[in-house]
């Protein structure tokens, strides 16, 4: 499945899904999913994307993720979402 949400969306997909979120979105995917998040790069004045693979080692299935200030994936607990 391919699941897409816009800016500030919460987007969830199952196993082997492609999950895409816009600026300030959180994404969650099942095992073997690809997570994609969009952000605005001030230096290059363009939209860019970061991707992560749900491998059950560094990116966990069922966990919410967002981009931090360095545009890296970080886990989000339910009290922060």
Predicted model pTM: 0.92
**Per-residue pLDDT reduced to its tens digit, 36-49:** 999 999 999 999 99
pLDDT in tens, 15-72: 999 999 999 999 999 999 999 999 999 999 999 999 999 999 999 999 999 999 999 9
Relative to beta strand 34-41, strand 46-53 is: antiparallel
Q: How far apart are the first and last CA of the chain?
A: 24
Spatial contact of 46 and 38, defined as CB atoms under 8 Å apart: no
Parallel, antiparallel, or unpaired for β 73-76 and 64-67?
Answer: antiparallel
């Amino acid at each position: 499945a391919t699941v897409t949400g816009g800016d500030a969306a919460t987007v969830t997909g199952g196993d082997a899904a492609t999950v895409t979120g816009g600026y300030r979105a959180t994404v969650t995917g099942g095992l073997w999913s690809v997570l994609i998040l969009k952000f605005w790069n001030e230096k290059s004045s363009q939209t860019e994307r970061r991707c992560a693979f749900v491998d059950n080692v560094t990116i966990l299935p069922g966990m919410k993720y967002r981009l931090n200030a360095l545009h890296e994936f970080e886990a989000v607990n339910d009290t922060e979402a």
